[in-house]
Amino acid sequence: MEGVKHIVAVASGKGGVGKSTVTVNLALALSAQGYRVGVLDADIHGPSQAQMLGVKEGARPQAAGEDTFFPLEAHGIQAMSMAFLVNTREPMVWRGPMVVGAFQQLLTQTKWDNLDFLLIDMPPGTGDIQLTLSQRVPVSGAVIVTTPQDIALLDARKGIEMFRKVNVPVLGIVENMSTYHCENCGHEAPIFGTGGGERIADEYETQVLGRLPLSLSIRELADSGNPSVVSEPDSAVSQAFAEIAKGVAKQVDAAAEQGPTISFSE
């Protein structure tokens, strides 16, 4: 894609595991480390990146030509979302082909400005959007977000298998809501279980990029449009995102150096 060096999909097999929150904080962590970063909100039916980035309701992208437009900027990163093009208070009652068409337009008609990383906040599941992404553009890798509980891991496996089928390397696992830390007494409890991220990483020969706590502040700051990485850069949560960002960049560089496998036969 013109203007983009690496595309990284942030995905999950199911909704409700914090994928969008991880995406925006990961993007901001990469930006804090000196990379030029963009975020594409691929959830056409339920876009959330506009609110998480603090973009005012009704903000619209400027035209860059007859059929292209500039992304909006927030917190130093470039962003594009269906929320910038429609009234977010109205439901998107669209069938599959219309959703795919809208996603393709967002993907190919946005004039990204010299990005090192474009993070794509994928909708949950393994359907049309995921297949369209893998077929239309070269994806450097995928980050799988899950919680430790077995039900979430079932769907995370499906997400990993899907990316393997379309030859997209899985960069690693982010285990979200790993532990709950009580702000009053300091007690920690693994509400959703323990070891889920490690088990699935071992099963698919990948790695756990990081573990994130179940924290009220993460949710509140994302909802306010000032995610943890920009609001509390020195917090333990932000440091965890910084380590995840380093892991993603390292894995992408390793995949780029390895390159495609070429075989010869008579």
Paired residues of 118 in beta bridges: 7, 38
Q: Distance between CA atoms of 247 and 243, rounded to whole angstroms? A: 6
For residues 213-242, average pLDDT: 95
Question: Contact 115/145 with Cβ under 8 angstroms?
Answer: no
Closest CA to 132 of 86, 97, 173: 97
Paired residues of 73 in beta bridges: 78
Burial of 182 (0-12, 13-18, 19+ CB in 10 A): exposed
Q: 69-102, pLDDT tens digit by residue? A: 999 999 999 999 999 998 888 888 888 889 999 9
Q: CA torsion angle for 72, 24, 32, 6 (degrees, to 10)? A: -80
Q: Distance between CA atoms of 68 and 21, rounded to whole angstroms? A: 28
Q: Distance between CA atoms of 193 and 73, rounded to whole angstroms? A: 38
> Could you say which DSSP state residue 122 is in?
P
Quote the mean pLDDT of the chain: 91
Cα 195 → chain centroid: 22
How many CA atoms lie within 13 Å of 146's alpha carbon, on the beta-carbon side?
32
State the greatest distance between any 2 C-alpha atoms of the chain, in Å, as a whole number.
Answer: 70
Q: Distance between CA atoms of 8 and 1, rounded to whole angstroms? A: 13
Residues with Cβ within 8 Å of residue 234, at least 6 apart in sequence: none
For residues 137-162, average pLDDT: 92
224's tokens: 């306010």
3's tokens: 């203007």
Q: Distance between CA atoms of 177 and 93, rounded to whole angstroms? A: 31
Q: How confident is the model at residue 188 (pLDDT cuts 50, 70, 90)?
A: confident
Closest CA to 29 of 61, 67, 77: 77
Closest CA to 212 of 172, 180, 247, 251: 180
Cβ neighbours around 55 below 10 Å, total: 19
Q: 244-258, pLDDT tens digit by residue? A: 999 999 999 987 776
Q: Distance between CA atoms of 140 and 142, rounded to whole angstroms? A: 7
Q: 20-77, pLDDT tens digit by residue? A: 999 999 999 999 999 999 999 999 988 999 999 999 999 999 999 888 999 999 999 9
Whether the predicted model's global pTM rises above the 0.85 cut: yes
Angle at 259 between CA 258 and CA 262, to 5 degrees: 115
Chain position carrying tokens 């990029």: 209
